[in-house]
Structure 1
Amino acid sequence: MRLRAVAVLAAAAALLVGLAQPAGAHGSTTDPPSRNYGCWQRWGNDFQNPAMATQDPMCWQAWQTETQAMWNWNGLYREGVAGNHQAAIPDGQLCSAGRTQGGRYRAMDAVGAWKAADKPRNFTVNVLDQALHGADYYLVYITRQGFDPLTQPLRWSDLELVKQVGKTPPQSNTLIPVNAGNRTGRHIVYTIWQASHLDQSYYFCSDVNF
């Protein structure tokens, strides 16, 4: 009973921390959702539900690894990259931005059946800029045909740049039209948002099914 009470208190503390986060908000891709935003969206109000383990196992392992990765879904960024994204982030760690912030988002790199959004080949990436940072640029990549996100860790060589957007003024939602070409099946959309207010780079893995 004592262990159960400790667990309940710990969960409540995590909830309170999570509720306090919007004051320091930054942003994320919300459609198709980034991995941690999708987990928060589906389970943020029901994070103690044991059904998550079977209904959404990739989110389950992420919640067990580090709850703050989901409560802080808007803070997956690195500073001081100076545009050298590939040098800053090793293969296999793209979804966690190179295990940024002490490895808080490391579970985002886990290989497996993340929930995927069904998308046509012509679709729109929606970046939510909560803090109105604006952007120096956005880069949108999609995995090449033949890459299997269910069994393979994501590497830079698995990505193909499909869209680049230049200087963008601060706005709550930036809509980026994307053409996936002849891709079919499961893929990862990898979005880099270079914020304008600082040398602050955001990295988002979004799982899709074309």
Structure 2
Amino acid sequence: MYFVLPTSVFAHGWVEYPEARQSICYEQGGLWTGNPPNAACAAALNESGTYQFIQRNEVAINIAAPHYWDINKVKAAIPDGTLCYANDSQKRGLGIAHSEWTKTEVSAGTFEFVFNATAPHNPSYWEFYLTKANADLSQPLKWDDLDLIQEYGNVVVDADKKYRMNITIPAERSGDAILYTRWQRDDTVGEGFYNCSDITITGEGTDPVDPEGPYLHQGEQFIPSDVHLSTPSIDEAVKYELFKSGGGLHASFSLTITEENQSDWDRLLASQVTGYYETNHGGDLFIGAWHEEMVHYMYFRNDLHANYLNSKDEGVSGQFTIIPKDENSDLTAVITPQVLQEINVANVEHGVTVVLHPNQSEGDFNHVEWTQLSGQSISTENGLYNELIINTEQLQSDIDHELTFKLTISNSQGTASNLYSFEVTGSDVENPGENPGGNDWNAANVYQGNDTVKHNGRNWTAQWWTQGEEPGTTGEWGVWQ
């Protein structure tokens, strides 16, 4: 099991709706006195202490690339009985079977899932599992208890640092269940977040999808079965183009084959297509097929030729192509950023408006997407010519910030991307109105959430219980902010 790495020291988020176990216990309180009001939380506290609740935004495990693409290796890294705490023994209380876990009522049908991201990560992908109707919830959760009910590719976080997705509970389900969420970063380290949300399916909801059958027109196969297709070779590329009813190109998507994605390229390419139309065109196109029992569309990942182009417009068509290695260079675009007033993009002062411009590139493109990858989440605007406008006045002014944005452009030749990172220098001027009455930090003192102290000329606020952790050493997402 050498592919399992230690969990990252940074915290990243939890399921806000339906709320995850560790967050519910944290919010209900009583942890520091040893008297949580909920019996399941009390049992979990007795099993493995307060750490699992303090770290509610880091129920995670690292499975290095490319192994996290293989669900069997994920199951080996997170054995049966450890699912709800991602096989981290310091959080094992979250995995105990208990009838008193607080349950969120969720209607059968479609609801909005919300993940509170204290540190958003993209690129990434999502998987949602629901316990089977006959699963024994009196026992710790096992993989065989679960059905995969929904998947999403890269989802853009909103201005409030929330990931929001529509999840569909099968219409015929009711009663108690567990919704199991997997949020997997698509990078070398392969950090994945696993949350258990206890729910009661009321059966009173209405599914916006017609329960009698599919609501999109099924077109041709996504990957044609009449074409001899072996697994594309590394450095080749796969491309999928969508054409309007009149024959004009509407959108183009591509993926270069690497060692990490060679066994899962079709699902990733399909996710690009479906995600784009979900975000920009109201979900009027889906790559996959209608699942009769689940009563919704899904991508059948283990059957290459079982997935189709499904669209509201019957005249839409698609074309799949493998691009040889020696032609793949056409997919690369050289893009250089511009910034307002010729500000050096490597270092700007707090309050400056930065503009990143995609239009200095080799070749034309018809789709532009900007994604923030790191740093404090910040609201941005898109200009008339697809430039990204970033007002750094929103950032906390008394510290330095490093921000990274990803630009993705596409045309009929495929897709290219580039990363732009820059540092925003904070002001050293303190605001005398902040933190009135804060005392000097003392390593021997115990501090609760929202307690304030002074240390090294700055004001600090504790985010949760702490003792002995020096302000200024706990990182951007640590206890002292």
**Native 8 Å contact 1:135 1:193 kept in 2:** no
Amino acid at match of 2:180: Y
Provide the TM-score with structure 2 as the length reference: 0.36
Amino acid at match of 1:180: I
Q: CA deviation at 1:165?
A: 0.3
- Which residue in the other structure is 1:94 paired with? 83
CA distance in 2, matches of 1:48, 1:107: 16
CA distance in 2, matches of 1:139, 1:174: 13
Q: CA deviation at 1:177?
A: 1.2
- Which residue in the other structure is 1:15 paired with? none
Say which SS state the counterpart of residue 93 (structure 2) adopts. helix
Q: CA deviation at 1:51?
A: 5.7
Amino acid at match of 1:187: A
1:71 equivalenced with 2:49 (yes/no):
no
- Which residue in the other structure is 1:145 paired with? 133
- Which residue in the other structure is 1:208 paired with? 199
- Which residue in the other structure is 2:44 paired with? 62
* Structure (1/2) with the larger strand percentage: 2
Q: CA deviation at 1:170?
A: 4.5
Percentage identity across paired residues of the two chains = 26
Q: CA deviation at 1:195?
A: 2.2
CA distance in 1, matches of 2:174, 2:196: 18
Provide the TM-score with structure 1 as the length reference: 0.79
- Which residue in the other structure is 2:162 paired with? 173
Aligned length: 180
Say which SS state the counterpart of residue 105 (structure 1) adopts. helix
Q: CA deviation at 1:68?
A: 0.8
- Which residue in the other structure is 1:185 paired with? 175
Amino acid at match of 2:39: P
Which of these two proteins has the greater Rg computed from alpha carbons? Answer: 2
CA distance in 1, matches of 2:131, 2:142: 9
**Native 8 Å contact 1:135 1:167 kept in 2:** yes
Q: Taking structure 1 as reference, are residues 50 and 199 closer, same or farther at Cα in structure 2, changes over 3 Å only?
A: closer
CA distance in 2, matches of 1:135, 1:148: 35
Alignment RMSD (CA, Å): 1.9
* 1:63-99 Cα distance to aligned partner (Å, 9 max, x none): 233101001101111112531321211111110112x
CA distance in 2, matches of 1:135, 1:128: 17
Q: Taking structure 1 as reference, are residues 207 and 201 closer, same or farther at Cα in structure 2, changes over 3 Å only?
A: same
Match of 2:12 among 26, 32, 36: 26
Spell out structure 1 runs of 4+ moving beyond 3 A. 48-51
Q: CA deviation at 1:148?
A: 3.4
CA distance in 2, matches of 1:183, 1:160: 13
Q: Taking structure 1 as reference, are residues 56 and 162 closer, same or farther at Cα in structure 2, changes over 3 Å only?
A: same
Amino acid at match of 1:88: A
Deviates more, 1:78-87 or 1:108-117: 78-87
- Structure with the bigger RCO (C-alpha within 8 Å, sep 6+) is 1
Deviates more, 1:193-202 or 1:111-120: 193-202
Match of 1:155 among 130, 142, 148: 142
Q: Taking structure 1 as reference, are residues 30 and 42 closer, same or farther at Cα in structure 2, changes over 3 Å only?
A: same
**Native 8 Å contact 2:131 2:145 kept in 1:** yes
CA distance in 2, matches of 1:42, 1:194: 28
Q: CA deviation at 1:131?
A: 0.8
